[in-house]
Amino acid sequence: MLTLYSAWEQMSIARAFNTTSIWIVNLGSLKPLELPTEHFLSLAYDIDAWPLNSVNRFLQHWAAREFGEEVAEEVADIMGKYSVSLVSSSGEVGILSMAADVCV
């Protein structure tokens, strides 16, 4: 499962090894993964724009664009919690714990 936190972690590792020409992602069905896919592509396009601890800023930006500034903070918070709950049930809890400490 591609989460916002694991995408940031993996793209940062790729950047550290100067792997910047090609990335391969297994997304399965795209429809339920539009937000994580957009996050991944944003990282791939310009990882420097999204430094450590930028997942919440990305969610705020996304929520404001999709739902408007008036509800952006609440939507971003819900989507952040939703991402965390998905990982909790997927077996990536160890990765999430590490990523949450670093990225949230």
Tell me the torsion sign for CA atoms 47, 50, 53, 54: negative
Please, are residues 9 and 99 in contact by the beta-carbon 8 Å criterion?
A: yes
Q: Is the pTM of this model over 0.85?
A: no
Tens of pLDDT, residue by residue over 49-88, are 999 889 999 999 999 999 999 999 999 999 988 877 766 6
Q: In this structure, is residue 42 part of a structural domain?
A: yes
Q: What is the mean pLDDT of the chain?
A: 80
Q: In this structure, is residue 57 part of a structural domain?
A: yes
Can you give the residue range of the structural domain that contains 83? 4-18+30-103
Q: In this structure, is residue 76 part of a structural domain?
A: yes
Give the residue ranges of DSSP H helices in 1-104.
4-16, 34-45, 55-67, 69-88, 93-103
Q: In this structure, is residue 68 part of a structural domain?
A: yes
Q: In this structure, is residue 79 part of a structural domain?
A: yes
Range 7-22 average pLDDT: 88
pLDDT of residue 36: 85
The total number of structural domains in the chain stands at 1
Q: In this structure, is residue 52 part of a structural domain?
A: yes
Range 6-31 average pLDDT: 81
Tens of pLDDT, residue by residue over 39-52, are 989 999 999 999 98
Q: In this structure, is residue 23 part of a structural domain?
A: no
Tell me which residue of 2, 9, 1 sits closest to 100, measured CA to CA. 9
Q: In this structure, is residue 25 part of a structural domain?
A: no
